[in-house]
Structure 1
Amino acid sequence: MSQTALNLVAISIFLMTFSVLLGPLIHLSPTIPALATFTILGIATLDNFSLQGKGGTIFLDWIAGFSPKHRDRIIHHEAGHFLTAHLLDIPVTGYTLSAWEAWKQGQPGQGGVTFDDAELASQLEKGSISAQMLDRYCTMWMAGIVAETLVFDAAEGGSDDKSKLVGVLASLGFSESACQQKQRFHLLQAKTLLQENWSSYEALVKAMQQRASVTDCQSVLSNPTCD
């Protein structure tokens, strides 16, 4: 069973426990938590066997989306990727800010910035990649974690970003210790880029909060002082 499905099962157990302990005190009909539990378990089952984890991810992301801080974290995280890609000449093709948007566009996970990475894929397929291209992508992958940390003092997201970096490095023959060293190095590289272009970053965050198009976001980055 996927981790997302397990999370949904945990939520259903919490609901049932809550209804047993506090239901009589607040005059909550047992039908309500029972229906909610049945629905969540149904989602978990469908998700595990038919949707490969996407359904549960969308549901949990939808619940988290009620938190303004959660939404704000996502925007700041993805803006870090977007700006760094722009600075390193990695073509940005789009961005999504929720699992639902990502699912509609056929993307895995909870959303994010998408890139034209055909050149990267071509080089990886051949089993060799230029040091310059590897450094550019590794720095861009780490930039979301860095941006979130700079704004909120800690990053909640970024596990997928780390997995991408480690996966690519491992496929190229890097050892575990070398992967960790590269990760630390590119975290510092991303931090330097973001701090040196902080006004552009803040302008990009505002544009993404307004759901500006990729073209409009790129225009903002070309002239971050414009409103």
Structure 2
Amino acid sequence: MNQAAINLIAVFVFLITLSTLLEPLIHLSPTIPILTMVGFLGIATLDNFSFQGKGGMIVLDWLARFSPENPDRILHDETGHFLVAQLLGIPVTGYTLSAWEAWKLGQPGQGGVTLEDSEIIAQQLEKGKIGVSMVELYCNIWMAGIAAENVVFKSAEGGGDDKAKLNQFLQALGFEEKIFEQKQRFYLLQAKNSDSGQLG
């Protein structure tokens, strides 16, 4: 479960607790906030365990759409992935710009680009036979979205999925967890150099 979902649950629990404390003033039965909280937490638990938090991601993505800057950030993030993939010669076969679209297509995360040979990489990774050049290419592509946001907006709000993919990839390659952040910064810098020539 990501940090935003945890924060949303904490706010919800706070509001329910507040309504329970204010119950004598607003003449609300104490069972209503309790049942609401149990129902909400039950749904959140079911979503987390059965759907890997996709329902929460869809709700958070929907709420984020009310921010006027968010759609532009998502667009630039995915454009960064697309541009770097094209520059590095990896064909892009599709993309999604929302968690709902990603869920409908069966993609993990909040959306993103679909690369033509991602299944080949997964097979190579399982066998433990993946070339260094392929590692470099994919790591650059995953960090390109954050780099594009940094180039255009001078900060990155998204990229949690991208960092998670990179960390999962590095872990499968046998890297220690303490090296992940260093690798993220390295590939972010490389992707930023690729992006800035195209976006700047």
TM bucket normalised to smaller: 0.7 to 0.9
| Maintained 8 Å contact 1:81/1:143 | yes
Correspondence 1:13-162 to 2 at 5 A: 13-16=13-16, 40-41=40-41, 43-116=43-116, 117-162=118-163
Deviations 1:127-169 (A, max 9, x none): 1211211111111111011111112211112222222223222
Letter matched to residue 149 of structure 1 = N
TM-score, normalised relative to structure 2 = 0.79
Correspondence 1:145-184 to 2 at 5 A: 145-176=146-177, 178-184=179-185
- Between the aligned partners of 2:189 and 2:49, the Cα distance in structure 1 is 41
Q: 3-state DSSP class of the match of 2:80?
A: helix
CA RMSD of aligned residues (A): 3.1
- Between the aligned partners of 1:67 and 1:101, the Cα distance in structure 2 is 19
- Between the aligned partners of 1:36 and 1:101, the Cα distance in structure 2 is 29
- Between the aligned partners of 2:27 and 2:72, the Cα distance in structure 1 is 36
Mind listing any 5+ residue stretches in structure 2 that lack a counterpart?
A: none
Quick one: structure 1 residues 22 and 92, their matched pair in 2 at CA, closer, same or farther if it must change by over 3 Å?
farther
Quick one: structure 1 residues 29 and 155, their matched pair in 2 at CA, closer, same or farther if it must change by over 3 Å?
farther
| Maintained 8 Å contact 1:80/1:143 | yes
- Between the aligned partners of 1:55 and 1:124, the Cα distance in structure 2 is 29
* Higher alpha-carbon deviation: 35-44 or 152-161: 35-44
Q: 3-state DSSP class of the match of 2:94?
A: strand
User: What is residue 192 of structure 2 aligned with on the other side?
Assistant: 191
Aligned residues: 195
- Between the aligned partners of 1:45 and 1:163, the Cα distance in structure 2 is 21
- Between the aligned partners of 2:198 and 2:115, the Cα distance in structure 1 is 21
Quick one: structure 1 residues 6 and 183, their matched pair in 2 at CA, closer, same or farther if it must change by over 3 Å?
closer
Deviations 1:1-43 (A, max 9, x none): x457644432323433665799999xx9969x95986774454
In the TM superposition, residue 175 of structure 1 has moved relative to its aligned partner by 3.8
TM-score, normalised relative to structure 1 = 0.71
- Between the aligned partners of 1:24 and 1:95, the Cα distance in structure 2 is 52
In the TM superposition, residue 170 of structure 1 has moved relative to its aligned partner by 2.8
Letter matched to residue 80 of structure 1 = G
| Maintained 8 Å contact 1:43/1:55 | no
| Maintained 8 Å contact 2:61/2:98 | yes
- Between the aligned partners of 1:91 and 1:159, the Cα distance in structure 2 is 23
